Amino acid sequence: MGSTLQVMDSRAQQLIAPHGGTLINRVATPEQQQKYVESSSHLRRIRLSERSFSDLELIAVGGFSPLTGFMGSDDYHGVVETMRLKNGLVWSIPITLPVSAELADTLEIGETIGLEDADGTLVGILDLEEKYSYDKRREVEQVYRTSDEKHPGVRVIYEQGDVYLAGPVLLLERRPHPLFASRQLDPAQSRRAFAEKGWRTVVGFQTRNPIHRAHEYIQKCALEIVDGLFLHPLVGATKSDDVPADVRMHCYEVLIEKYYPLDRVILAINPAAMRYAGPREAIFHALLRKNYGCTHFIVGRDHAGVGDYYGTYDAQYIFYEFDPADLGITPLMFEHAFFCKRIGGMATTKTSPSGPEDRIHLSGTKVRAMLREGVQPPPEFTRPEVAEILIAAMRQPSG
């Protein structure tokens, strides 16, 4: 048994290094957990939003390596203005803990603060090192490229508190996900899983939507050049009109079972909250998957976009702003894919001479209308098994 573990550890060491070189672990030991639970009645406590709780989890398990806590002002301003941390590492999205100015005034630097989830349960600890005000308009203009409050990410910033708290954190307990415990792999676990399969090259795929034929096509193109696919759907906070995570996960599982080589795909949840920050979030998603052990990352059409705030391929162009060595993960960039009637298969404009009349393309509005009416989109657009799951979900009476 010992020699087997040594082989696995050796293989794991051959995987891509985490961002910054070290996989962070800020999950409390049993002794730390007992200490803080016993003293919890003496701690001042802050209730976390759904996004902040997701951020706490990802800091603690190493998904946000090299971060060990919520960002201080130097890192924050570096990220907003230059997409780099104070130490020079690339980082594109601020990871911050907002509170009201009134609450911030009651907190003392050096204080240990309890962090609560939505139910009021103590889930984490913050050692407060700094509290600072910030320019909301500057942040949204830089990070989201718009100050329009209709943008869902911008709206979150405008509605949150005016002061950020900073300092290292501890997650008191790593809980099983209430819906997807069997699909919960933290970075150390995904890296071990890749090593056990002997994968040296792994492509990550970010999604918050059901996978249609276009997504399937680009994933399988990527699988031709790497050892494995890490299908890593986001299950944190999303827009209210996005397809619910449990419905999406059912779609992924059925699709993999019927249409993918099972030994070359791992499906696991990404607990992150969606920012809808387009280009900057594409960089963010890539670095997060690097921490999970991916060597490559798929960047498709309008990655992490919403509405018409970003150009179709802006999320690809942003990668050219960085030295590849600074990112340490290879983007695989794909154009919009479609079923081409002329060639009788999936294609993009890079591989097909067809015109628009030869392409099967349906708008999201049209697809949703078909599903609500119980009509399956054509199989060239989505696999029938996926359509059946979505029809059943969309025709359920709302609460």
Neighbours of 38 (CB within 10 A): 9
Burial grade of 178 (CB within 10 A; 0-12, 13-18, 19 or more): exposed
CA 297, 301, 305, 311 dihedral sign is: positive
390 to 176, 300, 319: CA distances (angstroms): 26, 23, 34
Give residues with Cβ within 8 angstroms of 358, minimum separation 6.
340, 341, 342, 352
Cα distance between residue 108 and residue 31, in whole Å: 25
Residue with tokens 């007992």: 34
Angstrom distance (rounded) from CA 145 to CA 199:
37
Query: Which among 285, 314, 293 is positioned nearest to 208, based on CA atoms?
Result: 285
Which of these is catalytic: 192, 208, 248, 359?
208
Is the CB of residue 69 less than 8 Å from the CB of residue 98? Answer: no
Catalytic: 87?
no
Q: Which of 25, 84, 155, 209 is catalytic?
A: 209
* Residue 309 Cα distances to 209, 256, 272, 333, angstroms: 19, 32, 22, 20
User: What's the DSSP call for residue 29?
Assistant: P
Q: What is the DSSP letter of 178?
A: T
The backbone torsions φ and ψ at residue 124, rounded to the nearest 5 degrees and listed phi first, read -160, 175
Q: Which two tokens stand for residue 35?
A: 């200490």
**Would you call 137 a catalytic residue per the annotation?**
no
Strands 44-47 and 112-116: parallel
Strand order in the sheet with 330-333: 265-267, 228-233, 202-207, 296-299, 330-333
CB atoms inside a 10 Å sphere around CB 327: 17
Cβ neighbours around 252 below 10 Å, total: 21
- What CA–CA distance (Å, rounded) separates 68 from 127? 11
Active site residues: 208-209
